Structure 1
Amino acid sequence: MFFTYLRRELRRRRKAALVVASGLALGIALVIVVSSVSSGMNKAQDKVLQSLYGLGTDMTVTKAAAAQTGDNQRPNFTFDAKDGDSDEKQSTDRVMVQGFQTLASSTVAKVAEQKGVADTVGGLNLQVMKVDGQFTRGQFKQDPGSQGQKGQGGGGTGQPQGRVQGGGADFQVNSYSVYGTDVTKQNLGPLTTSKITEGRTFKASETNAKVVVADASYAKEKKLALGDNVTIHGTKFKVIGVSTADSGDSAANLYIPLKRAQTVAGMKDKVTTVYVKATDSQQIDAVKSTITENISGTTVTTSADLAETVSGSLSTASSLASNVGTWLSIAVLVAAFLVAGLLTSSAVSRRVREFGTLKALGWKSGRVTRQVVGEAVVNGLIGGVLGIAVGLAGAYAVTAISPTLSASLGSTGGAGGSGGGTGPGGPARQAASKTLDIALTAPVDATTIALAVGLAVAGGLIAGAFGGWRASRLRPADALRRVE
């Protein structure tokens, strides 16, 4: 009887039911779109942070570089003087650590001993600047008729007259980043944000081997292939693999074993960054405090610290989605619930004769209330289905369009010295000058769908509560007063 009456009444009042369902659908659709866009923002920000951190890394430990002034900031290059007419090419390079001071390798073990630390690994971030080219001797061009003769009346000097043409210096500067990775622990650090697309990665036995993994973009630019040799500060390394960064931005141009990087840079038993994985992701702040307190002179940076430095359109869009979008969704939902409740209550008022007659026939107030609530819940579920359909369509449209957002990475306390670190994996790898373009998506997960269903049921119950309260107050005598 309940479902028969319910089906008949909904069919008879299709327009009113559609109005209530449409209002709820609008609010639910907006919630789905805002939730999915917010989720896309979080994923986009994760991509930005992954370009600085290795997968599984919760924080980094560095030491800010001391401030430098004057010529100490600039690398010096010295070239040999050539005798005679030699135009031989000359080349020199410098291996530098920018943005950070080095830490003793023993710091990695000290950090590992701190409470709450699950795993650590050290890395050496290097920047290589190479200058090569040649000096060209100019050619003396004698002016026609300028040869003077000694002792003649013209008072000539005996020296040909003319000028030097051509010559000069033609040098090119090539700067690239090198990351020294601990090949015995490759589950932490910047290299884990890339996938090996050609060749192989390092073996655990290659702690001091002259082998290199090149970033795909850098390999394409320099036309490097597997088996080729790359010279870093006078040492030849064999290319064994090519990696492609997951986020589209690599942590370094070249990766070499940590021990070999220390040798090349002349920094024995030194690292620039310690990558830390916490035992509990909920205790990262506590672990950060412990490391800062027990290991003086270091800067501990978490992903939350880095997230605060992300600016650009990604940050602006994220703020809009989390603030304006959230409040707008709440406002629309509240309005939809109120409208649904008022429309249901109004519909009950128009059914006074019907409900009064039913009560006169023996229906209890509770049965009338359940009938009204049942109709409202069905309207809510219909609105939920419509809202989910519209919301999924909106999320799909955002993903299909994939608007590009820019993210600028500001410097943090880990960057100092000459404008911030440029090596991979540090808290401010390229300071504020580093900008990434991220394609926005709007993924919809099961939690969002469950939230939509819950809102649909809640909207129906709220509307039913309005109407049920009004229906429970009707008396059979009310129906008689409406009889004409």
Structure 2
Amino acid sequence: MFGIYLKRELSRRKKAALVIAMGLALGIALVITVNSVSAGMQQAQDKVLKSLYGLGTDMTVTKAQAAPSGSSSGRPKFDFDAKSSGSKKQSSDRVMTQGGQTLKSSLVTEVSAQKGVASAVGSLSLNVVKVNGSFTQGKAKSSTSNAQGGPGGQGGSTGMPQVQGGGASFDVNSYSVAGVDVSHQDLGPLATSKITTGKTFTSAQTSAKVAVLSKSYAKENKYKVGSTLKISGTAYKVIGIATPDSSESTTDVYVPLKQAQTLGDAKNKVTTIYVKATDSQQISAVKTTIQKNIAGTTVTTSADLADTVSGSLSTASNLATNVGKWLSIAVLVAAFLVAALLTSSAVSRRVREFGTLKALGWPSRKVTRQVVGESVVNGLLGGALGIALGLAAAYTVTAISPKLTAELGSTGGSGGPGGMGGPGGPAASAAKNTVDIALSAPVSVTTIALAVGLAVTGGLIAGAMGGWRASRMRPADALRSVS
């Protein structure tokens, strides 16, 4: 009886039911759109942060760069031997640690022992500036001029010698090298890349002279698996080519950690300690513990890096998080109120119907159940329409894939040609990288479930208000409404 009467009443009031359903649908569609865009923003931000962090890395431990002491300026210096004559080729590598002061390797074990730390791995970041070129020696020539000089008019003088020809032509190339703990490659700089050609390091290659190159660096310099790469006079065999998960990976060459320490004259030193926490919910507590127990270090979490991201990605993320969510809540509340008012108004127009039903013996709870049932069906219809509209909006955003930019501080970027930050040295680590991200709007099952819940909630709110009004009607009201 309930189902038959429900179906008949809904079919009689199609327009009113459609108006209520459309009001709820718009609010639900907006919620789905905002949630899906916010999820896309989060994915984009995670992608940006992977350019600085290894997969599974929760935080890094570093030490800020100290100011140069004494006469040392920290600038690269190149010394070439003088050649007697001719055009001679000269080549020199300047290897410097980058990313802050070096830390003792023993700190890796100390960090691992802290409460809440699952694992910790050390890495050494180097910047190699290679100068290649040749000097060409000039030739000194003197000129002789005749002039009226002593008795008989004879005399002469020799002019100052002048150097003609000669010069120098040098090419400056800069690239980054990361020392990898080959026994823990799942954490650290190489964890952000996938070996696409060749193979990665083995645990037995702790001191081996082997290297893995990034795909872009290998392509630019025409290296392939089996090639030989020379760094500061030491030959390394290329065993693999790695493709970074993030297009903004700043590392060009990976070598075993001990080899990097030898190249950088930094025995038993690291520049960065990558840390994995036992519980992702306790990252802040672990950060506090490390800073308290290991003085002089800087602990950076992914949340800290997220705060430094700027550009259109940050602006859009703030809009989606703040303005978008509050707007969707306001529209949803308005949709609920409109549905409740329309349902209540519809009940007012059905005085004769509900009064007659009560006169026939229907109790108030049965009348209320009838109104609530109709409202829930309207809510579910609105939910279905809202989900369809929301999915269409999310699909449109994904199809268009608007480009967003994110600017973030680099851990070892360079500014200027050849990685030089200006005359005399590399750029500071605060140089910014700009990352272009294509925005998508993924819709999760949780978002769909939220939409269904909102649809039912809207129907119940509207039904509760309308049912309360219907339950207060008396059979006498029906008789007074008869004209």
TM over 0.5: yes
Residue identity matched to 2:77 = N
Hey, what does 2:381 align to over in structure 1? 382
Equivalents in 1 of 2:167, 2:185: separation in Å?
A: 48
Q: How far off is 1:410 after superposition?
A: 3.5
Alignment of 1:342-421 (within 5 A): 342-410=341-409
Contact 2:123/2:189, CA 8 A, preserved across alignment: no
Alignment of 1:5-16 (within 5 A): 5-16=5-16
Contact 1:408/1:432, CA 8 A, preserved across alignment: no
Ranges of 4+ aligned residues in structure 1 off by more than 4 Å:
138-142, 149-156, 158-161, 163-166
Q: How far off is 1:9 after superposition?
A: 1.1
Instruction: Indicate the percent of aligned positions where both proteins have the same amino acid.
Output: 69
Contact 2:10/2:17, CA 8 A, preserved across alignment: yes
Equivalents in 2 of 1:150, 1:201: separation in Å?
A: 78
Contact 2:99/2:271, CA 8 A, preserved across alignment: no
Q: 1:383 to 1:154 in 2, by over 3 A?
A: farther
Hey, what does 1:328 align to over in structure 2? 327
Equivalents in 2 of 1:164, 1:433: separation in Å?
A: 45
**Deviation digits for residues 195-219 of structure 1 (CA, Å, limit 9, x no counterpart):** 1111111111000111111111111
Contact 2:98/2:271, CA 8 A, preserved across alignment: no
Alignment of 1:36-435 (within 5 A): 36-68=36-68, 72-84=73-85, 86-138=86-138, 148-149=145-146, 156-158=156-158, 166-410=165-409, 430-435=429-434
Q: How far off is 1:137 after superposition?
A: 3.3
Residue identity matched to 1:179 = A
Q: 1:59 to 1:160 in 2, by over 3 A?
A: closer
Equivalents in 1 of 2:349, 2:186: separation in Å?
A: 69
**Deviation digits for residues 384-442 of structure 1 (CA, Å, limit 9, x no counterpart):** 0010111011111111111111111147xx99xx99xx9xxxxx995242221111111
Structure 2 counterpart SS, 1:148: strand
Q: 1:137 to 1:471 in 2, by over 3 A?
A: same
Equivalents in 1 of 2:158, 2:314: separation in Å?
A: 76
Residue identity matched to 2:311 = G
TM-score normalized by structure 1? 0.92
Residue identity matched to 2:354 = F
Contact 2:99/2:125, CA 8 A, preserved across alignment: no
Contact 1:311/1:410, CA 8 A, preserved across alignment: no
Hey, what does 2:422 align to over in structure 1? none
**Deviation digits for residues 325-373 of structure 1 (CA, Å, limit 9, x no counterpart):** 0000000000000000000011111111111111111111111111111
Contact 2:340/2:466, CA 8 A, preserved across alignment: yes
Structure 2 counterpart SS, 1:267: coil
Equivalents in 2 of 1:260, 1:433: separation in Å?
A: 29
Equivalents in 2 of 1:107, 1:259: separation in Å?
A: 16
Q: How far off is 1:136 after superposition?
A: 2.4
Contact 1:108/1:121, CA 8 A, preserved across alignment: yes
Equivalents in 1 of 2:51, 2:318: separation in Å?
A: 22
Hey, what does 1:425 align to over in structure 2? none
Equivalents in 2 of 1:321, 1:155: separation in Å?
A: 93
Q: How far off is 1:167 after superposition?
A: 3.2
Equivalents in 2 of 1:133, 1:477: separation in Å?
A: 107
Equivalents in 1 of 2:409, 2:432: separation in Å?
A: 8
Equivalents in 2 of 1:71, 1:108: separation in Å?
A: 29
Contiguous gaps of at least 5 residues in structure 2: 420-426
Equivalents in 2 of 1:458, 1:188: separation in Å?
A: 46
Q: How far off is 1:254 after superposition?
A: 0.5
**Deviation digits for residues 40-93 of structure 1 (CA, Å, limit 9, x no counterpart):** 111111111111111111111111110238860321111221112x21111111
Residue identity matched to 1:468 = G
Contact 1:148/1:160, CA 8 A, preserved across alignment: no
Mean CA deviation greater in 150-159 or 401-410: 150-159
How many corresponding residue pairs? 469
Contiguous gaps of at least 5 residues in structure 1: 423-427
Q: How far off is 1:239 after superposition?
A: 1.0
Equivalents in 1 of 2:94, 2:67: separation in Å?
A: 20
